[in-house]
A and B are shown apart, each in its own frame.
Chain A
């Protein structure tokens, strides 16, 4: 199925929008080497597809540290504050809202007397605060990860390629997207082929 890059142009329909180029590699070493070269070439919108996680591939692609930890931290702190407001608000508040017409609107917590403890007892609130912190942190981690990865993705043009199916079995792929500023249909294809790709294929959107 390996295509000669010279035939790529003729295969491209004029109506189609180009998605990018994929290059197929046979071994981890090949794809690691190619990934480093691609990174050094200055491409931004590109990725490596592999059937399994490869140690060190993050550095080879030049992936910048994710902002996910900050999202989780903010979600966790939000959960903590929400827990405190919930617990103190429902249990221990007792004040009037000033400035309302007529009788002031009273805001009262339940103020349940539980085994003689003060109404505002932080130790009793900690489990609620803790669980809400964990819950929102977990939501932040899971949904933040999905959001940052733009998942779920119902359509991916790469799946049109028959070759690409082997990326879940025994082949490694480098994908360079057409929206990259350095992308040039011919030059990029040639470049990838020069890195030892066994096949290079143009993908339409």
Chain B
């Protein structure tokens, strides 16, 4: 174009977060730790035991991990595309992604549950599977056939997935239904015993630990690399060379990211039921992660601008973030439906049990059609159809208030999604929501957000050394 002067950062753009943010970060971490201790004590003193605390913790850990992972993907992919529009807002995504060491510390409780919980959260981690003589695969299948018959007449067997089924529905009339649910649960429990030995090479405590050490080291390494390299551009490094370095690493980084997020989603959430499997699970987790990360990014930028930071972020940048938020609202729906349809069509007992447990079944009179069914409807409308219509128009994405509204709405829905995915393994048809879940949300969230805020105070809030900064500042949608 003609002789436009290169747009410059305003002075306020270079302002860093100060002492107020530092004390906010530490406060959040302290509040988080206190909330986690309170949640554990509350659960231990009777409100569901340590088991409930474990599930509530996994739920909230998955929620905040997904947001950091989504941010990491934003950083990786925009480097591959050499996207210039993103430069002004990329530092916030870099900070969210560089929060991985905090997420690694937060993973320790889950690791303790796996190593010492004897299958409390993850049935495959039970010690009974350690002894290879406890039943070869074929022998188990035979006993399994006969057991199903006996099991179906038994009342509430204490098996995974329906622990509290018996307490869920009260009254004599409901007893027959509870019996049905209990027999389903028991049947599924039998399948766990039959199928886990076959999945042992993958689902072992030691391999699980090794995998998670690998994931967390890799993600921390990638997150910190991009933050440090981007910061080095501001402090006198060779800007073009450093950008090139980040672009070169972004390509293999994306590949590793795609593989690790897929397997991490399998390990963290899917293996809560070691019988169930869905090859789309990794993409499902990823789709939600990206949506959560864009919503968080939008809200973080708006919060910073409220306090006078990063004034150069304009409606054009929000418009693009809104478009991407809209994209992943729909992508989540597309993937969620595809996953559902394949399992619905095949209608195999060991896979459709997962949906049955979550209240999705067309079987008349099924006891599972209860609270989780309502949550599933809430997800269909609240996570897909309503925000799809709500984010469709251009002017909505350019209006700060409306975009903030939808970002908050979708972060809530993202949590409901994880809640609906994780908690039915603790109890179904009963819906579990109470102080333990809320305290875990505050706990994991406090530590994660506090860590991110402290990380954000250590450098400027805009990648001021990026060679494409000028392009980003003058960026406009046609």
Contact = CB atoms under 8 A, between A and B. Distances in A.
Interface of A: 27-29, 53, 55-56, 58, 69, 115-118, 123-124, 126-127
Instruction: Report, as a range, how many residues of chain B touch the other chain.
Output: 10 to 19
A126 B2 contact: no
Given A58-B478, A116-B347, 7 more contacts: A27-B2, A29-B2, A55-B478, A56-B476, A123-B344, A124-B341, A126-B337
A34 B1 CA distance: 17
Interface in B146-205: none
Nearest to A126: B337
Contacts of B1: 28
Given A69-B393, A116-B347, A118-B362, A123 B341 contact: yes
B307 interface: no
12 contacts: A28-B2, A29-B2, A55-B474, A55-B478, A69-B394, A115-B345, A115-B346, A115-B347, A117-B345, A118-B362, A123-B337, A123-B341
Contacts of B344: 123
Interface string B391-402: 001100000000
A127 B476 CA distance: 36
Interface of B: 1-2, 337, 340-341, 344-347, 362, 393-394, 474, 476, 478
Contacts of B394: 69
Nearest to B478: A53
A126 B336 CA distance: 13
Contact of A124 (B2, B345, B474, B476): B345
A58 B1 CA distance: 17
A115 B343 CA distance: 12
B402 to A, nearest CB: 17
Contacts of B347: 115-116
Contacts of A58: 478
A105 to B, nearest CB: 32
B314 to A, nearest CB: 13
A53 B362 CA distance: 54
Nearest to B393: A69
A126 B394 CA distance: 27
Nearest to A116: B347
Contacts of A123: 337, 340-341, 344-345
A69 B474 CA distance: 27
Nearest to B1: A28
Contacts of A124: 341, 345
B275 to A, nearest CB: 21
Nearest to B347: A115
Contacts of B478: 53, 55, 58
A140 to B, nearest CB: 14
